[in-house]
């Protein structure tokens, strides 16, 4: 699985985020922290017999119910950013910041892309930087349908309701779904009743953004340090399961 930062760094103007990832890898080495690659299962975590486990498992794409979704090739935004979309004519469902960035990446791959956004505005989640972002979307010539919902997917066409009118979009070969993310709390749920003491931090606790996740991780680490000093190594009794 990729982290949110891995995906964010694929957008041209966020490339410096790759440096952040490299920096963290370096810091792990410097601090003698062992990095074990691969997916941790609940069984594996239990076997480690750790005094305490911090879960920072991030988020997973949210896939909304869409009538007829099985009739079209569909991808979540993560797969799309990773270059898995083979089709040329693509609709991106969801025009938040991630949907727009995914659309930009697909356009750079030479695809014809349209965005379908149910709200009347694009990237409403962006706050102060939104005007700059919209300028960029304008420059790259992103084709957008706002105030638009998918009514139904039929074989060879997508029926949409746009600005109150029903329309049929033909020739769309693939749908990329970018309708937000939900906390990835699978491991937390699997570890319940296992006797393992754990705490969740970052997006797997509450989806926000990178700055907040890094801050939350830092504060958690610092609180462990303080508690360790006060009580001696291995006792983090006060931390609560989220
Ligand atoms: C496309 C995109 C663009 C974004 N752009 C920005 C931005 O510009 N600015 C900003 O501040 N934020 C941005 N964000 C949000 C930001 O990336 C996240 O909020 C942040 O990465 C959350 O950090 P985290 O450590 O909680 O989770 P993540 O960074 O998602 O890391 C979770 C990690 O846990 C791993 N994992 C999950 N389950 C297991 C398991 N069972 N075993 C082992 N490993 C596991 C995953 O593979 C992943 O590497 C963006 C997110 C996306 C998706």
Inform me whether the pLDDT recorded for 238 exceeds 60: no
Q: Which residue minimizes the CA distance to atom 45 of ligand 1? A: 57
* Start-end of CATH 3.40.50.720 domains in the chain: 36-60+182-231
Predicted local confidence at residue 233, as pLDDT: 44
Q: Give the CATH number of domain 36-60+182-231.
A: 3.40.50.720
CA proximity to 12, closest of 150, 127, 105, 75: 105
Cβ of 209 less than 6 Å from ligand 1: yes
Which atom of ligand 1 sits closest to the CA of residue 40?
42
Measure 214 CA to ligand 1 centroid, in angstroms.
10
Q: Whole-model pTM?
A: 0.86
Q: Which residue minimizes the CA distance to atom 37 of ligand 1? A: 57
Predicted local confidence at residue 28, as pLDDT: 93
Which atom of ligand 1 sits closest to the CA of residue 10?
1
Higher pLDDT, 233 or 167: 167
Cβ of 187 less than 6 Å from ligand 1: yes
Predicted local confidence at residue 122, as pLDDT: 92
Report the SS3 class of residue 62.
coil
The confidence band for 67, taking pLDDT boundaries of 50, 70 and 90, is very high
pLDDT tens column, 170-223: 999 999 999 999 999 999 999 999 999 999 999 999 999 999 999 999 999 999
How many CB atoms are closer than 10 A to CB 119?
Answer: 14
Inform me whether the pLDDT recorded for 235 exceeds 70: no
Which atom of ligand 1 sits closest to the CA of residue 102?
1
The upper half-sphere exposure of residue 1, i.e. CA atoms within 13 Å in the direction of its Cβ, equals 13
Inform me whether the pLDDT recorded for 109 exceeds 70: yes
Cβ of 213 less than 6 Å from ligand 1: yes
Inform me whether the pLDDT recorded for 15 exceeds 90: no
The confidence band for 236, taking pLDDT boundaries of 50, 70 and 90, is very low
The two three-digit tokens of residue 187, written as one number: 């491991």
Mean pLDDT of 58-78: 96
Write out the CATH class of domain 63-179. Answer: alpha beta
* Start-end of CATH 3.50.50.60 domains in the chain: 63-179
Inform me whether the pLDDT recorded for 4 exceeds 90: no
């Amino acid at each position: 699985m990729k982290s949110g930062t891995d995906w964010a760094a694929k957008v041209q103007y966020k490339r410096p985020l790759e440096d952040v990832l490299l920096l963290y890898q370096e810091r792990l080495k410097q601090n003698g922290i062992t990095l074990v690659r691969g997916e941790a299962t609940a069984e594996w975590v239990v076997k480690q017999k750790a005094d305490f486990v911090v879960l920072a498992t991030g988020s997973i794409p949210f896939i909304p119910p869409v009538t007829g979704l099985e009739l079209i090739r569909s991808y979540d935004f993560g797969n799309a950013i990773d270059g898995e979309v083979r089709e040329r004519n693509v609709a991106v469902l969801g025009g938040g910041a991630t949907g727009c960035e995914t659309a930009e990446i697909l356009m750079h791959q030479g695809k014809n892309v349209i965005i379908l956004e149910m709200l009347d505005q694009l990237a409403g989640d962006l706050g102060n930087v939104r005007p700059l972002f919209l300028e960029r979307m304008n420059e790259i010539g992103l084709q957008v349908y706002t105030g638009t919902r998918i009514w139904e997917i039929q074989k060879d066409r997508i029926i949409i309701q746009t600005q109150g009118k029903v329309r049929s979009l033909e020739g769309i070969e693939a749908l990329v779904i970018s309708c937000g993310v939900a906390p990835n709390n699978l491991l937390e749920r699997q570890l319940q009743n296992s006797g393992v003491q754990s705490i969740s931090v970052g997006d797997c606790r509450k989806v926000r953004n990178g700055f907040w996740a890094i801050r939350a991780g830092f504060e958690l680490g610092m609180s462990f340090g303080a508690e360790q000093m006060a009580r001696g190594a291995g006792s983090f009794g006060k931390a609560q399961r989220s």
